[in-house]
Structure 1
Amino acid sequence: MTPRELEIRRRLRDDFEHYAPRCLKIRSKSGKVESFQLNKAQQHIHACIEEQKRQTGKVRVLILKGRQQGASTYTEGRFYWLVSHRKGVRAFILTHEAESTAALFEMAERYHEHCPLLIKPSTGASNAKELVFDRLDSGYKVGTAGNKSVGRGTTIQYFHGSEVAFWPHASEHAKGVMQAIPDAPDTEVILESTANGIGNYFHQQWQAAEAGDSEYLAIFVPWYWQPEYRKPVPEGFSHTSEEERLARVYGLDDEQLQFRRFKIAELSADGIDGTSAFKQEYPMTAQEAFQVSGGDTLIQPDAVVAARKYKCLGTGPLKIGVDPARFGDDGTAIIRRRNRAAYSLETHRKRSTMEIAGIVASIIKREKPAQVAIDVGGIGAGVVDRLEELGHGDIIKAVNFGGAAGDPERFRNKRAEMWWEMRDWLADETMPVMIPDSDVLHADVCGPRYRYDSNQRRILESKEDMRKRGLRSPDAGDALALTFAEPVRRRDDAVLDAVVADPVTGY
């Protein structure tokens, strides 16, 4: 090869974004065979994966997306690229059903068929589910999750789990084929799926990744990134109040809103709630995707998204909420709030009572809050006792979540009262608020359901009942709710919108 040819091959080997449009062919949604140009969702996934690989040397990601956004197309292209340029490696793709297995293998065969001769690997004995590159001693194989033992007994460097939320034997595959992947540099595991309710393997892994409790990176892709998800707007088109809110919060235009209307109508067959079905199939947030019918969550995602995007100046007394871990089961969450601005969320895991007390004491000394509200359930009582011993009793407010509410005729207990106050704070469109741009806080705040008792008092779902539904404890949400332990005085004066300059003081 000439030096020019060597340079071309080197870049094609090392740069997937350069390689894909030049060497890979896909069948578009219109049925045409075209060059693989990464769309916005695929570019985002690629950037996240490459950054993780740069930092850790390997890839472990979970991708939550809507229908037909190209996650599988990206992953198959990436793994074909890797296997066709490396010696002695194996890629394995596991799908939820036989039809999907055939479709993904057809995609891989199309990549191979159209690969330029300059870099096309030699193919040995292959069959309907496997490509073998004989000179490289590498291979590419697909399987279906209906077989519990599929993929066992092999060593795999690159694993793609497709529609993992729909695997019928997910826990068995986690113990089997997933264990065939070495914990070594240059190995990759990409698990992707649309949502399928909560409590299943994919949802459990997503919660752990979102909370930072696993080595996996959680990547979410919203539906409105797809340029083709649009419909022509008819004459006389006008927004409903809900569409007005969606346009404001997510920046949707009329053609995207018309697509949403069309899909909701399409999904509303046979008595199905089309709006709920759309949120699961075409989510705007991860919290929407993991919705479950049969219960209402107290706080809706739209209000949280708006608060994550909004920036304002924190003014007024500093209140800090502390939700200590309960005997090590959960994490300890700490968050600050000055009137309309909540900021600086931090979490601590596997800390003792004395360690948590020390962390809070240090914050008190440094930030001089007006109030520190602490849940006294679990280890919280010990934390409060220690802080009082240290002389901070004048600003410590011990809060019993199950204790009496300030308004016992409206609320079953103190926790419900605080969460309702937090909900009203988030939902007040006349006085927008700011919260940390955190997926963990977002999921926690949107997690608990609510109901009413026989006396029409408001009841918030307990942490124990949330666990039974497959949801983690909303520690960060409880911490923010604790900043409403006492009534928050409403300010009459307007506050100038600005980015918080100092995350500690709010000024």
Structure 2
Amino acid sequence: MAVDLDLFAVRCLKIRAKSGRVIDFEFNRAQQFIHERLEEQLAKTGRVRALILKGRQQGCSTYVGARYYHRTAMANGIRTFILTHEDAATQNLFEMVNRYHELCPVEHRPVTGAANAKELFFSALDSGYKVGTAGTKGVGRSSTIQLFHGSEVAFWPHAETHAAGVLQAVPDQPGTEVILESTANGIGNLFHQKWSDAERGEGDFIAIFVPWYWQEEYRKAADHGFTLTTEEQEYATLYGLDAEQMAWRRNKITELKDPVLFKQEYPATAAEAFQMSGHDSFIKPADVMEARKNVREPSGPLVIGADPSRFGDDGFAIARRRGRKVINTERRYKLTTMEGVGWLKQVLDTEKPARMFIDVGGLGIGIYDRLVEMGYGDVVRAVNFGAAPVEPPKFDEQGREIGGGPANRRAEIWMASRDWLQQAGGADIPDTDVLQGDACGPSYRYDSNSRVLLEKKEDMRRRGVKSPDEWDAVALTFSEPVPVESTTRVSGLEDYAVDY
């Protein structure tokens, strides 16, 4: 008897290919990646709790269906439940499971008891499937479930109700699995919130992302003379795509009539998937993605930004930067004032930064004052996000303020970090979707004097976006120039460098 899922799939399971033919089930690249991540979590924790973000028709539901059929058909007492966003999807997924069962070799096929449009029961094993549609608020609440598959969760009409109901039907026991998969559907919904939590390491769920260009079939023959636009060339270079993949992308964008919709339906990164048309981020995703792929050597003084927070959903984040490289970011939660002081003191003592810039709004002022009392006043600097910009306003010949520029210190240091990303020397930041999500999270507007105002954190929360703690910490490293004497000499004179 085949035991491993990948072997069982090839030997026992049949799928309907996009061509319409029924073929043996061999994992594609996306399915193999998902399988490896889930098995890794299962081996580590004894359970599976996973969120899968993917593009259209990449075989995720096919894989989860096979995984759960394998488990349900090979063990006693397994109850599996599938919940989708609409009736048609429910029917499609259940038909897929029925195909697995009907075409499975008889020696591996369990004896069937009840079998109808919403249930498949294996009587000898006391195991089986049920399916439901998220349009019914109470669906699945009264069951005890070992394996749960939530499909297109971002489109569930009663997502919060189901999270408090059917998800709670899965006991916190070894061997249980909850897999929630979806394409993106904007931000602020249950799936986006749980994804954001998982990316930050909060809770039990892991975040698994599958880019569109892993699909071998997402290619189109490039016509003779096919050339890329500047934007397309940058995109192709960024993700290592060939002409056939770019021809397919161009054709799909033409079909969808919206480049932003393409990013949502066929994302290259998780941050890109959750972009919304109409959300004009202050820092552009393309600039952040380029910095994620760059490799630069750290140089100059170590500068640290610290964005404290206490309790709530916001994190206490720090960022370390040397010259053109953000070395890393780190985030902790629910620190008291003294715990925050202890953390930053340890960093100051062991890493000896040239400067540590601390946001002194809220919890930060107590941390800053205590560090100064402890003798670190020559290194730590207070930064008040709501204060006036350090750079003075500009006036015309009649003494009238010209306008433009940042409206406050937060906008000023974010502008400095944005400009740094765009400089010709190239920036290097950690290659994480969390950091990109923070960098591209805030929108912006202009005040009556045409000065830039970043979106307030409370306004971001109202539209379902968490506080951009990690990029706040990165931006703090640009609070002011940090001079450092170089060890090199030019024409016998000391070369004086400034990191900014």
Interval of TM-score (by shorter of Structure 1 and Structure 2): over 0.9
Which secondary structure does the structure 2 equivalent of 1:459 belong to?
strand
1-structure distance, mates of 2:422, 2:247: 26
Which secondary structure does the structure 2 equivalent of 1:391 belong to?
helix
Alignment of 1:378-393 (within 5 A): 378-393=362-377
The answer to whether 1:376 aligns with 2:360 is yes
Structure 2 equivalent of residue 314 of structure 1: 298
Alignment of 1:187-198 (within 5 A): 187-198=176-187
Amino acid at match of 2:376: H
Please list the CA deviations of residues 172-216 of structure 1 after superposition, one character each: whole Å capped at 9, or x if unmatched. Answer: 111111111001000000000111111111111111111111110
Whichever structure has more strand as a proportion of its residues is 2
Amino acid at match of 2:197: A
- Of residues 458, 462, 465, the one that matches 1:464 is 458
- Of residues 383, 389, 397, the one that matches 1:405 is 389
- How far the C-alpha of 1:158 sits from its partner, in A, is 0.2
Please list the CA deviations of residues 69-121 of structure 1 after superposition, one character each: whole Å capped at 9, or x if unmatched. Answer: 11100100100000001101111000000000110010001100111122111
1-structure distance, mates of 2:117, 2:51: 28
2-structure distance, mates of 1:107, 1:242: 40
- How far the C-alpha of 1:487 sits from its partner, in A, is 3.6
1-structure distance, mates of 2:254, 2:116: 43
Which secondary structure does the structure 2 equivalent of 1:84 belong to?
helix
Gaps of 5+ in 1: 1-8, 269-273, 494-507
Please list the CA deviations of residues 17-44 of structure 1 after superposition, one character each: whole Å capped at 9, or x if unmatched. Answer: 1211111110011101011111111111
Alignment of 1:443-462 (within 5 A): 443-462=437-456
Please list the CA deviations of residues 292-335 of structure 1 after superposition, one character each: whole Å capped at 9, or x if unmatched. Answer: 22230022223222322322221101100000014544110011
Which secondary structure does the structure 1 equivalent of 2:339 belong to?
helix
Structure 2 equivalent of residue 365 of structure 1: 349
The answer to whether 1:41 aligns with 2:24 is no
Please list the CA deviations of residues 368-427 of structure 1 after superposition, one character each: whole Å capped at 9, or x if unmatched. Answer: 111000000110000000100110001111000111112354111111111111112122
Please list the CA deviations of residues 112-165 of structure 1 after superposition, one character each: whole Å capped at 9, or x if unmatched. Answer: 011112211111121111111110010011111111111121110000000001
Structure 2 equivalent of residue 424 of structure 1: 419
Which secondary structure does the structure 1 equivalent of 2:375 belong to?
coil
Please list the CA deviations of residues 213-267 of structure 1 after superposition, one character each: whole Å capped at 9, or x if unmatched. Answer: 1110011111111111111111221111111111111111111111111111111
1-structure distance, mates of 2:247, 2:152: 27
1-structure distance, mates of 2:199, 2:480: 30
Aligned length: 477
Alignment of 1:343-362 (within 5 A): 343-362=327-346
Which secondary structure does the structure 1 equivalent of 2:116 belong to?
coil
2-structure distance, mates of 1:23, 1:328: 49
Structure 2 equivalent of residue 75 of structure 1: 64
Structure 2 equivalent of residue 281 of structure 1: 265
- Kept in 1, the 8 Å contact 2:281–2:440? The answer is yes
Structure 2 equivalent of residue 171 of structure 1: 160
Structure 2 equivalent of residue 480 of structure 1: 474
2-structure distance, mates of 1:303, 1:491: 30
Structure 1 equivalent of residue 217 of structure 2: 228
- How far the C-alpha of 1:358 sits from its partner, in A, is 1.1
1-structure distance, mates of 2:174, 2:422: 46
- How far the C-alpha of 1:452 sits from its partner, in A, is 1.9
2-structure distance, mates of 1:28, 1:408: 64
Structure 2 equivalent of residue 503 of structure 1: none
Alignment of 1:19-418 (within 5 A): 19-268=8-257, 274-409=258-393, 410-418=405-413
2-structure distance, mates of 1:264, 1:492: 50
List 4+ stretches of structure 1 deviating above 3 A: 326-329, 487-493
- How far the C-alpha of 1:344 sits from its partner, in A, is 2.8
- Taking only the aligned residue pairs, the percentage that are identical comes to 58
Which secondary structure does the structure 1 equivalent of 2:43 belong to?
helix
Gaps of 5+ in 2: 394-404, 488-500
2-structure distance, mates of 1:234, 1:204: 42
Amino acid at match of 2:246: L
Structure 2 equivalent of residue 500 of structure 1: none
